[in-house]
Chain A
Amino acid sequence: MSKKHPEEEAPLREHSYDGIQEYDHKLPNWWLYTLYGAIVYFVVDWGLYYKTDWFDTDQEKVVAEIEAIAAKRDKALADTLATLDDKSLVHTWATDGAVVARGEAIYNQVCVGCHAADMTATMVAGDQKIPLPGLSLVDGEWKYGATPLDIFKIINDGTPAESTGHNGARMQPWGQTYSAKQVAELTAYIISKNPTDFTAY
Chain B
Amino acid sequence: MTITYDNKTPRQFMIASLIWGLVAMLVGIIAASQLSWWQANGKFLETLTFGLFKGDGVEYITFGRLRPLHTNAAIFAFVGNMMFAGIYYSTQRLCKCRTASDLLSKIHFWGWQLIILGAAITLPLGLTQSKEYAELIWPLDIAVALIWVVFGWNFFWTLAKRNEPSLYVALWFYIATIITVAMLYIVNNLQIPTSLTHSYSIFGGLQDALVQWWYGHNAVAFFLTTPILGIMYYFLPKAANRPVYSYRLSIVHFWSLVFIYIWAGPHHLLNTALPRWLQMLGMLFSLMLWAPSWGGMLNGLLTLRTGWAQLRTDPVIKFFAVGVTFYGMATFEGPLLAIRAVNELSHYTDWTIGHVHAGTLGWNGMMAAGMFYWMAPRLWKSKLWSESWANMHFWIALVGILLYVGSMWTAGILQGLMLGELNEGGTGLKYQFVQTLQAINGDGDGNHVTIKSFFSLYAFRTYGGILYIAGFIMCAINIFMTVRGSEPAEDTIEVPETPAHDTLPVKKWFGSEFLLYVFCLIFFLTLAFFLPSHADKVAILLTFFFTWKMVVAFKKDNKSWSHYYDQLLENYLPFTFLTFIAVALGGVIQIIPSIIVNKDENIEGRLQELYTPLELAGRDTYIAEGCYNCHSQMIRTLKPDVMRYGRDGIASDYSHLGESLYDHPFQWGSKRTGPDLAREGGPQTEADPHVRIGKRDNLWHFNHFLNPRQTSPGSNMPAYPWLFEQKTDFKAIPGRIKAQVKVGVPFPPMDKHTIEQNAREQALAIAKTIEDTAYLPSRPDLSGPELTRYLSEQKIISLIAYIQKLGAYKEQTLEDGAKPKILDPDTQRTAAK
Contacts and interface: CB of A to CB of B under 8 A. Distances in A.
Contacts of A164: 685-687
B673 interface: no
Given A165-B697, A172-B695, A108 B428 contact: no
13 contacts: A22-B243, A22-B247, A23-B247, A27-B246, A34-B291, A46-B280, A49-B280, A57-B830, A66-B642, A128-B775, A167-B697, A170-B693, A176-B643
Contacts of B649: 70
Contacts of B90: 18
A58 interface: yes
Contacts of B642: 62, 66
Closest 4 CB pairs of A and B: A169-B697, A113-B711, A35-B291, A25-B246
B652 A63 contact: yes
B306 interface: yes
Interface string A17-32: 1111111111110011
A76 interface: yes
Interface stretch (A6-14, A87-95, A138-146): A6-14
Contacts of A10: 246
Given A31-B295, A67-B651, A113-B710, A24 B287 contact: no
A193 interface: no
Given A17-B164, A73-B427, A114-B700, 11 more contacts: A17-B166, A20-B234, A20-B244, A63-B652, A66-B643, A69-B428, A69-B643, A132-B703, A169-B693, A169-B697, A179-B424
A58 B276 contact: yes
A5 interface: yes
B94 interface: yes
Most chain A CB atoms below 10 A, which of B428, B652, B691:
B428
B728 interface: no
Interface in A101-140: 108-110, 112-114, 123, 125-126, 128, 130-133
A72 interface: yes
Nearest to A61: B637
Contacts of A46: 280, 284, 529
B832 interface: yes
A42 B252 contact: no
A179 B427 contact: yes
Contacts of B292: 35
B685 A62 contact: no
B245 A25 contact: yes
Nearest to B335: A38
B425 interface: yes
Given A15-B166, A177-B432, A179-B428, A131 B280 contact: no
A158 B699 CA distance: 18
A39 interface: yes
A177 B651 contact: no
Contacts of B769: 167-168
Interface string B291-317: 110110010001000100000000000
B284 A41 contact: yes
B511 interface: no
B598 to A, nearest CB: 16
Nearest to A157: B648
A108 B685 contact: no
Contacts of A38: 284, 287-288, 290-291
A199 interface: no
A133 B775 CA distance: 12
A23 B686 contact: no
A179 B96 CA distance: 73
Nearest to B774: A130
Contacts of B559: none
B406 to A, nearest CB: 26
Contact of A123 (B248, B696, B710): B710
Contacts of A41: 284, 287
B810 interface: no
Nearest to B422: A69
A131 B291 contact: no
Interface in B251-283: 252, 256, 271, 276-277, 280
Contacts of A15: 166
B250 interface: yes
A133 B243 contact: no
Contacts, number: 218
Contacts of B2: none
Given A13-B247, A58-B271, A179 B697 contact: no
B646 A66 contact: yes
Contact of B428 (A21, A50, A61, A178): A178
Contacts of B533: 51
Nearest to B649: A70
A24 B246 contact: yes
Contacts of B238: 18-20
Contacts of A125: 775, 777
B780 A169 contact: no
A58 B713 contact: no
Contacts of A69: 426-428, 639, 643
A39 B432 contact: no
Most chain A CB atoms below 10 A, which of B290, B292, B294, B637:
B637
A170 to B, nearest CB: 6
B429 interface: yes
A34 B290 contact: yes
A20 B243 contact: yes
B284 A42 contact: yes
A196 interface: no
B435 interface: yes
Interface in A44-101: 45-46, 49-51, 53, 57-59, 61-63, 65-67, 69-70, 72-73, 76
Contact of B654 (A59, A67, A180): A59
A168 B284 contact: no
Contact of A126 (B434, B704, B777): B777
Interface string B764-778: 000001001101010
Contacts of B554: none
Most chain B CB atoms below 10 A, which of A38, A173, A177:
A38
A62 B639 contact: yes
B809 interface: no
Nearest to B775: A130
Contacts of A58: 271, 276, 637
A66 B819 CA distance: 27
Most chain B CB atoms below 10 A, which of A22, A26, A59, A170:
A22
A63 B830 CA distance: 16
B450 interface: no
Nearest to A20: B237
B428 A73 contact: yes
Nearest to A110: B432
Contact of B426 (A13, A72, A173, A176): A72
A53 B829 CA distance: 8
A180 B187 CA distance: 52
B575 interface: no
A138 B77 CA distance: 58
B244 A21 contact: yes
B98 interface: no
B638 interface: yes
B699 A132 contact: yes
Contact of B256 (A17, A35, A61, A63): A35
Contacts of B696: 133, 169
Contact of B288 (A39, A63, A113, A181): A39
Interface in A144-178: 158, 164-165, 167-170, 172-173, 175-178
Most chain A CB atoms below 10 A, which of B243, B294, B529, B686:
B243
Nearest to A67: B651
A57 B276 contact: yes
A66 B651 contact: yes
B306 A45 contact: no
A17 B96 CA distance: 9
A166 to B, nearest CB: 9
Contact of A22 (B250, B427, B637, B685): B250
A168 B693 contact: yes
B529 A23 contact: no
